Structure 1
Amino acid sequence: MKKQVIVALALSISAFSFAQKKELKAAEKAIKSNNYAEAKAALNQVTPTLSSIDDKYKSKYYFLQAEALYANGAGSAEDVNKAIESLSMVDDSMKGEVAELTSVMQNSFLTKANESFTSGNYKAASTEFEQLYNMVPADTTYLYYSAVSAVQDKDYDTALKHYITLDELGYTGITTEYFATNIETGKEEVMSKENRDLFVKAKSHNKPGQRVTESKQAEITKNIALIYVSQDKSEEALAAIKKARQQDPENIDLILSEANLYLKLEDTEKFSALMEEAIKQQPDNPNLHYNIGVIALKNKDFEQARASFQKALVLKPDYADAALNESTTYIDEGNELIEEMNSLGTSAKDNARYDELRAKKTSLFDQGADALIKYIEKNPNPEPNIYQQLINIYNATGETAKSKEIQAKLDAAK
């Protein structure tokens, strides 16, 4: 009785295997006819019994599944990712077939990715470069280009994920670059070593050479930091910026990013120190002097603020915001005197002190007006807010005739 059960079971397994082989052949035939939907349907019949299939047929299954999902380049991004995963499940018994399909897929993705990037379709380019990386993990350059494409697409979450992976892998991007000068155009062209040697031999190019490209590690760390900044993740951003600055200490973008982070954290002392560091590198950058002035004004360091705004105006004479803020330093300093003026009594000593403070306040307001007048002399058609601030000063000092004169100019400019 036991023998009959064993025989029956054996016959059942044999029939089962026969059905699996039949579906695999059907899938293979459908793929050859470019009928990928039919191939998927046949493979779906095999999927539930995959655990019982022989290893050689299991590899065949995964290979056919990869072909069906890839669909000769027509598969969706999701299907293509599954196809890549399926290929990784094929054992060495089909090493040649896998290499051939991988080569076809790789060339197709590379062509598509380059076309997508060149045409400005950065979302597609990022996906296609990532697929290339998933297919050939050893070539981390593809992941780098996927990150770059994601940045262009403003998909910072994807870019950050890729940059962190690259950083963890120690990716440098350092390569040997071969080049030669096109004799007809006079332009240097980068190419493979084989093509360079061929063109030089054909005398269409000359001045052959090679060079080692710069490491991309500092760039990657910088981009990680800048993305964290854009996401308001201050602690992560500061840690990344410090690491990036160790690699590239004189990078002005990193210095300014770190300064802005400290400004967000209301650490004006560190902000100012970093801005001074930036100014040492770019002493003729008016925006750097202006930003130093803004923080000094906020801290009521009026002399430092004025000096910074005046320097910005020397470098950029039409810098309206700098002129307005230079004027504001005098107004704010004058307004600082009001509290003491209001606290004084009616004694002769207090009256004398009041007159002294009032004269100083008026003098400061006059200097605030003079700063704007000097700006208008150099910029005859200023922004309306320049006129408006001047009107406000004249109204505060009781110079109504001057106020009306400037108001007329403001009305005419509208």
Structure 2
Amino acid sequence: MKSKYVILASALLISVATFAQKDQIKSAEKALKSGDAQGAITILKDAENMVVNAKDVEQAQYYSVQGNAYLDLANKSVETGKNLSLAAESYKKLIEIEKASGKLKYSTQAAASISEIKGKLINSAIADTQANKHADGAKKLYDAYLLDKKDTINLYYAASTAVNAQDYDTALPMYEELKKINYSGKGTSYTAVNKASGNEDGFNTASERDLAVKLGTHEKPKTEAIPSKRGEIYKNLALILVQKGRIEDAKKAIADARKTNPDDSSLILTEANLYLETKDFETYKKLVGEALQKDPTNADLVFNLGVISANAKNPADAEKYYLKAIEINPNYTNAYLNLAALKLEAEKPIIDEMNKLGTSAKDMKRYDVLKAQREGVFKGVIPYLKKANELDPKNEDVSKTLLGVYKALEMTAEAKELKARM
């Protein structure tokens, strides 16, 4: 008989715990409805250890209230990023529980909230990056990716933002995941200018964009090809691995990428850049030749060869490639800009020598020679800066550089005209 009483007592304890947990969930729900989200979370914390033994419907209700409370705090700007992520975790647990039980009571609302959280995380991440809080932005973008792994562009942006934060330990696994899923990002963008705001809006398809133009809400439709991002991804992956002393891993990562994507020319450049970083100039030259042979009329490819040559302190090759890019595409703005920057590098040693001169007759004579050389440098960059300014008149850096050159050469009329357009 004694054992029966023990069993009965145990059953009573479980029953009491269950009732107590139900009461706590109801109390948390009541606190949330009254506007006390933090109080609701505190109440739920007390029931956290018991929820695993609760019925499926009670567990789902628990995580629903918890998710709603965290989301309410985030909407009130209380530790926004942290509470958005915690809300999403609660909703995901809720959905898993209801999916396993087959009883869907809260899942629809939870799925809608997850979609809302994803948008809020992305918007908050954009605000963080604009405020130079790149590490916070990277985490939010990665959390947005975890909420919807089909939307892989958020993983790409999370990795790029982590690099901007110089948080390479965070960026590395993200780039490795991008490599694993063979992310490209290649596609087509469909945009049109919103007549009301003046901003350029993006559309999922050409037909959606064309409909908006037809309805009169948008104008100036534009379709642009989005190039593959694999070259950039593997370049950053390789550079991080090189920085960590994992040279062979870096080489293997790019070799694997090229096997998987044999027609992606940007990967040849990335591999060339890696061998340049490791001072293997022979392999670097071989890969450059391979890139040119594969796609000799690709202006982007030739331009990037110019950038690599400039980074390698080889101005002659850099100039050759920039001029070749312009020959292929006469409207290649960045090629004109880089040519101007390349030419302007010749000014520094001239200025350094001028600053060391004294006031003797010999020094004054040398000063005049150097001054003429400096003016020659400035005159040489004017055609490139003018063309870049013509192609991209809104680029303030180009305008200011060209204005500075005009002033240095005492080209008053040209400077006045340019300033009027700025």
TM-score (norm: length of structure 2):
0.60
Aligned partners of 1:275 and 1:292 also within 8 Å: no
**Equivalent position of 1:55 in the other structure:** 56
Residues 56, 258 of structure 1: alpha-carbon distance in 2 compared, 3 angstrom cutoff: same
The 3-state SS of whatever aligns with 2:191 is strand
- Alpha-carbon offset, residue 17 of structure 1: 1.1
Letter in 1 for 2:147: M
**Equivalent position of 2:67 in the other structure:** 66
- Alpha-carbon offset, residue 18 of structure 1: 0.8
State the number of aligned residues: 317
Larger radius of gyration: 1
Aligned partners of 2:84 and 2:121 also within 8 Å: no
The 3-state SS of whatever aligns with 1:89 is helix
Aligned partners of 1:256 and 1:274 also within 8 Å: yes
Matches within 5 A, 1:283-322: 287=310, 291=314, 319=346
1:43 aligns with 2:55: no
Letter in 2 for 1:224: L
Mark the runs of 5 or more structure 2 residues left unpaired by the alignment. 99-103, 297-301, 317-338, 371-422
Letter in 2 for 1:87: Y
Matches within 5 A, 1:232-271: 232-243=245-256, 246=262, 248-249=264-265, 254=270, 257-263=273-279, 267-271=280-284
Mark the runs of 5 or more structure 1 residues left unpaired by the alignment. 294-311, 322-378, 389-403
Aligned partners of 2:91 and 2:111 also within 8 Å: no
- Report sequence identity in percent: 29
Q: Distance in 1 between matches of 2:157 and 2:228?
A: 15
Residues 230, 247 of structure 1: alpha-carbon distance in 2 compared, 3 angstrom cutoff: farther
1:191 aligns with 2:195: no
**Equivalent position of 1:324 in the other structure:** none
- In the alignment, which of 352, 358, 367 is matched to residue 383 of structure 1? 352
**Equivalent position of 1:130 in the other structure:** 142
Q: Distance in 1 between matches of 2:222 and 2:345?
A: 47
Aligned partners of 1:63 and 1:86 also within 8 Å: yes
Q: Distance in 2 between matches of 1:119 and 1:182?
A: 26
- Alpha-carbon offset, residue 173 of structure 1: 2.4
Matches within 5 A, 1:75-224: 75=79, 77-90=81-94, 91-92=97-98, 93=104, 94-180=106-192, 190-193=202-205, 196-205=209-218, 208=221, 213-224=226-237
Matches within 5 A, 1:354-369: none
C-alpha RMSD over aligned residues: 4.4
Residues 239, 405 of structure 1: alpha-carbon distance in 2 compared, 3 angstrom cutoff: farther
- In the alignment, which of 228, 233, 243 is matched to residue 241 of structure 2? 228
Q: Distance in 2 between matches of 1:43 and 1:289?
A: 60
Q: Distance in 2 between matches of 1:162 and 1:38?
A: 36
Residues 97, 277 of structure 1: alpha-carbon distance in 2 compared, 3 angstrom cutoff: closer
Letter in 1 for 2:49: P
- Alpha-carbon offset, residue 199 of structure 1: 2.6
Letter in 2 for 1:160: L
The 3-state SS of whatever aligns with 2:48 is helix
Q: Distance in 2 between matches of 1:95 and 1:26?
A: 22
Letter in 2 for 1:89: K
- Alpha-carbon offset, residue 183 of structure 1: 7.9
Q: Distance in 2 between matches of 1:65 and 1:292?
A: 61
Q: Distance in 2 between matches of 1:288 and 1:100?
A: 49
**Equivalent position of 1:326 in the other structure:** none
Aligned partners of 1:320 and 1:386 also within 8 Å: no
Matches within 5 A, 1:334-413: 381=350, 383-384=352-353
**Equivalent position of 2:33 in the other structure:** 32
Q: Distance in 2 between matches of 1:236 and 1:317?
A: 38
The 3-state SS of whatever aligns with 1:178 is strand
